[in-house]
Structures are given as C-alpha cells and as structure tokens.
Amino acid sequence: MATQPASLRPAADELEVSIFGPGVGECIVVHLGRGEWAIIDSCIDRESRRPVALAYLERLGIVPANAVKLFVVTHWHDDHTGGAAEVFRECVNATFFCSAALRSREFFEVVGIGGRAFEPDSGVKELKTMLGIIKSRAPAGVRPASVGPAYANANQCLWRAPTAAPVPVSVHALSPSPGAIQLALQEFARLIPALNAPKRRLVAQDPNQVAVVLHVEAGQHTALLGSDLETGTDVAAGWHAIVHSTARPQARAGIFKVAHHGSQNADDRRIWSELLTPEVVAVVTPFRRMPLPKPTDLERIKSNARHAFLTAPVRGSAPPQRDAFVERMAKATARDRRLLEKPMGHVQLRVQMTRAGATPTATLFGAAHAI
Amino acid sequence: MSMKRKNYQPVQAETALMLGFTNIGDVSGTPTAARTTVEAGAPVFVLRPEPRVPELPLRNREIQATSAVTTAVANDLKPEVVPVVLSREYLPERYFDVRQFWQGTVDSVARDGVKAVLEDVTNPQNSRETAIIQWEDIPEGDADLVAPGAVFYWSIGYESTITGQRNGVSSIRFRRLPAWTRSELEAAHREAQELEQLFGDPTSVATTGRR
C-alpha cells in the first residue's frame, strides 16, 4: 500500500495534508511550508498510546515544540479531541484555536458539568485540561484569556506565512457563523442536567453546525478540511452559511477532508460545485459507531471526486478470538461485534505549492485505501 | 493476625458486581452465616491495600481479584483493590468464575437492540469494540436505565455450586448512576463562573447569579 517510507519529510515548498483515522477519531497534520506545521484535531494511536500527530512528526524527525505553529480543535467531541491536551502541552509555540462557540457561559457550564459527569473519555475533559495548562502558563497577574485560547469565527485568518516567505500560505476558518454559534449555545444549554437526573456520559446533539471548517491556501493549491460540519435546516449555519458567504476565501480546493465522515447530512452539492475543483482528491475518515460512511455515501463521494480515499475500512475488523466458551456465550448475547479503532489508517497527500494544476501525490499507510 | 475491620473498604453490592464477584459473601470477619448471593444494596467488603495488606487467616480457599477485574472500578475505587480473601466458612453456596468482563456504554437505542461500545476490562490492551446487544439479554429491571450514555457491565463466566454443578452465564447489568444533587450542580456552576472570569469574553462576563 505505502509507496514511500512514512519518515520522508516533505520539501520546503510542498503542501502536505496527512489525514489519520483509526475508525473512530481523526487528526490532520498539515505542512505549511518551510518546515512549519499545523495540527487539526487529535486522536490517539491505540498501539503507541500517543497522539498520532506527535508520533508522526517525530517519525519525520521533527520536533513538534519548534515546528507546530497552529493547533486547532475544531469541536469538543471525543473523536476529535483524544490526546489534544498532550498535543497542546508539547506544542508550546503553536497558537491554539477552538470554535468561538466555546467562549460562552453555556460551554463553561458544560465544562463544569463534564468534570462531574460519568464520562471518562470526554472531549470536555481534554479542553478543561488545556484551559488548566493555559492558566499555568499565564504570567502572574495576567488574565489567562490573554494567553489563550484563540477563538475561531467564520472567515477569520488563523495563520499566515510571513510576507517574506517565497510562497504565500494562509489558513482561514470558514465557520462557525454567528447563526451557528447561537445554535451551539442552545445545544450546550440542553446538556446541563436537571436536579436528580441520572449522571450519564455527555452525549453530543445532532446536527453539528458549529465545527471549524478550515481553508488552507498554499501557493497554487488549496485544501478544504471539513471537520464534522453538517447541514441543518438553518440557512445561517452549517454548510449553508459557508456556501452563501461572500466573505470567505474564494480559491477552490483540490484537497478535501470530507465533512462528518461522509454522511449525507454533511453534504451539499454546492460544496462540490462552488468550493472544490473538479479534480478534487477527497479523503473520508470512518466513524464506526454509526457506522459512517454508508455505501450510498461512498458512491456519492466517488461520483463527485476525481480520487477518493478512506483512512480505514468502515466496518471494523473482527475482535480477537477469545476462548470457545466466551465466544459462544458472547454470540448469544450480542451481534455484529467489531473492533472500533483498529487499525490506524493514514492518507498522505503532497503537492508542490508552486506547481499549478498538479494532482497531489497520495500515499496510503496502514488500513487506508481507495474508495 | 486477625482481620481488622478498619482494613476493609465497605462497598455496595453493585460495586462487587462490577468487580465480577457476583456472589461473594460477607467478609467482614464477623462469624455469621455467609450469604449465598449478594443482593442489590447489600454490603460486602473488599480489602484495600491501605495502609498495607494484612496477613489474613486463610483456611481452605482464597479468592483474589485480578488486576484486570479491578480496573473495572477505576472510577469508584483505586485499581489496587486487591485482594479479596474469603475463608471457607464464608464461601457462598454458589460462586461465579468470570472469564470475560466488559464495560459498555450505550451509543444508541433501537428496536432491534442496543448499540454499544465495549471496553475489555479483562484484557485492557484490546481495542474497544462495537456491538449490538439484544434486548432479551437486558434485565427487565434495567430497561428504564437504557439510554445513550448509560453504562453497563457484561460478564461471561461459569456459575458453580459447592455441590459441583457448573453453568455458563452471560450477564448484563446496567449501572444505576447516581443522580445530580443540588450541591453538585451548584459546584459545577461556580466552576463555570470561574472559567468565564478567566477565559470568557470580558464584555459579557457575568459576575453574579445564574442566568
């Protein structure tokens, strides 16, 4: 599957978009040129127990503390935040962005609840840990908010290469829109439990209209990283707001991290016709808990993209065989048992920033495969 | 050395069930008749190694919790909740030999079953699994607990009696999660206010009261 060793660094003028997805969880690592990197979301490699982004950069011989300039947590759900606090702790030179919806009284209430609810792997806990790290980094007498986090809003530039850089590179947020933030506040409010309600793990509501979608423009090439943004009925939120926006960067993307695991609810024909090029290379990360993408989603994506890849099979592998008695009893109680997070898959896309019209080179690792 | 009561951590039967000891008896040291099974809410005693595990009067039999099983209660007791030692006179008439133990979390509920994520407590290095649990295997008494985010314990093993009978058992028990109390909600709100003071938008930071 892999045609080159994963330890080969990209050239200084190469855009790299590496998308990792183990079945549940995703992380994107982007080379912004000249040895500078961005990390978008985080998930844990179940083998090494390390955040995949840090493990990957280290394999390339890169020191994350020096090289990572931007770290974005697109939303607070568990499958995008595994190990995020560890990434943040190590990437001391990165500006940390999260959705502007999280700078709200409603979300801080969720954080207060999250620490006391029954939710051992919650993304809320990761974000709370990150706020604690920021607090510890703030100089005495300085309000921690002045140190971080930074909050991403639609059509805001999150990072830009210095003007002296040989190739212009920028990262913009295309969401959340003001309308989406209002919807998110309502969602957060619904997560606050009533007196005497049972303590359950926090369960996110659908649809996700508040995730941060990123637009990475590097010379002649652009990547659209769709996070988990979905399309609801509100035209002021989700993908509706992005495609209707006149303020967003106009360059069409030839690389697309398909939103929300390829679900129909995260698709809109105008994404393909207005935000992407006809030659787009699309990458989907599966979400086995649903499971997503469905076969019809794969067909739709394949018909819209020039090349399409999955970071891992939608259906997890069979679990390890336990002794015959346990297997017999388990089959009588549960059906369709599948591994959730193994194996890890990685789609690496690289293209020279200055080569107009070039198709990114795709290299597949682990369980990644073409659709 | 005699068993001292202070060396035992009293836990509810539900916690014992989480440990996989579905039928341990009273090991308080009091020479009373052993229970044959642990009833919901009945007290059992699990030895904690603090300050250190004392030497106990072993007679004929010893049951020790494995480290794998004890991780099941990481949220309630520290993993080093070992060992549980029962002398023969307290052994129940039936006991459960756990071969596989999962902690599950409900993802979604449908007519054809409950979709859940399973964490292997017996072999924690194993990857998590998804599965659809059939409704008929969920105890009727737990049905009201089944909802997204609910937690359950699934144990597979042999139930044996001291007369030598042995039956395979697959048992699912939903955890009765504690309810939110007023003081917890108020503490969460105070924390939220503090976070808002530190990290919120300074133009909208609330200083008092709940909205």
Tens digits of residue pLDDT in A17-46: 999 997 678 999 999 999 999 999 999 887
For A343, name the nearest residue in chain B, comparing CA atoms only: B127
Q: CB of A124 within 8 Å of any CB in chain B?
A: no
> Would you give the distance in Å from CA A155 to the centre of its chain?
18
Question: In chain B, which stretches have pLDDT less than 70?
Answer: 1-95, 162, 202-211
| Chain B, window 14-43: residues with a beta carbon less than 8 angstroms from a chain A beta carbon | none
Q: pTM to 2 decimals?
A: 0.80
pLDDT attached to residue B24: 40
Q: Among A86-95, A198-207, A252-261, B115-124, which is the least confidently predicted range?
A: A198-207
Contact state of B100 with A46 under an 8 Å Cβ cutoff: no
Distance CA B154, CA B141 (A): 15
* Long-range pairs of A272-280 with CB within 8 A, sequence gap ≥ 24: A272/A304, A274/A243, A275/A224, A275/A242, A275/A243, A276/A224, A276/A252, A276/A304, A277/A252, A277/A253, A278/A306, A279/A254, A279/A306, A279/A359, A280/A253, A280/A254, A280/A255, A280/A256, A280/A304, A280/A305, A280/A306
Using alpha carbons, list the distances in angstroms from residue A78 to A119, A237, B51. 10, 22, 37
Dmax over Cα atoms in chain A, in whole Å? 68
Distance CA B179, CA B159 (A): 32
For A321, name the nearest residue in chain B, comparing CA atoms only: B126
Q: CB of B129 within 8 Å of any CB in chain A?
A: yes
What is the complex's ipTM, to 2 decimals? 0.84
Nearest by CB to residue B149, choosing from A115, A203, A329, is A203
- Take residue B126 and report the two structure tokens written for it: 């194993």
Contact state of A339 with B129 under an 8 Å Cβ cutoff: yes
Q: Is A138 helix (H, G, I), strand (E, B) or coil?
A: coil
Can you give the C-alpha Rg of chain B in angstroms? 21
| Chain A, window 308-327: residues with a beta carbon less than 8 angstroms from a chain B beta carbon | 316, 319-320, 322-323, 325-326
Interface test with B, best of A137, A338, A340 (most B CBs within 10 A): A340
Under 8 Å between Cβ of B8 and B84: no
Under 8 Å between Cβ of B82 and B16: no
Contact list in B for residue A24 (CB cut-off 8 A) is: 128
Looking at CA atoms only, how far is residue A194 from chain B in angstroms? 7
Contact list in A for residue B201 (CB cut-off 8 A) is: 103-104
Contact state of A194 with B180 under an 8 Å Cβ cutoff: yes
pLDDT attached to residue B206: 41
What are the tens digits of pLDDT across the range A123-176?
888 999 999 999 999 998 888 988 889 999 999 999 999 999 999 999 999 999
Q: CB of A278 within 8 Å of any CB in chain B?
A: no
Contact state of A112 with B128 under an 8 Å Cβ cutoff: no
Q: CB of B203 within 8 Å of any CB in chain A?
A: no
CA atoms within 13 A on the CB side of B102: 26
pLDDT attached to residue B1: 31
The better pLDDT of the pair A259, B43 is held by A259
Under 8 Å between Cβ of B122 and B101: yes
Under 8 Å between Cβ of A53 and A87: yes
For chain A, give the mean pLDDT: 90
Contact list in B for residue A332 (CB cut-off 8 A) is: 137, 170
Size of interface A-B (CB pairs under 8 A): 167
Cβ partners under 8 Å of residue B184, min gap 6: A116
pLDDT attached to residue A6: 60
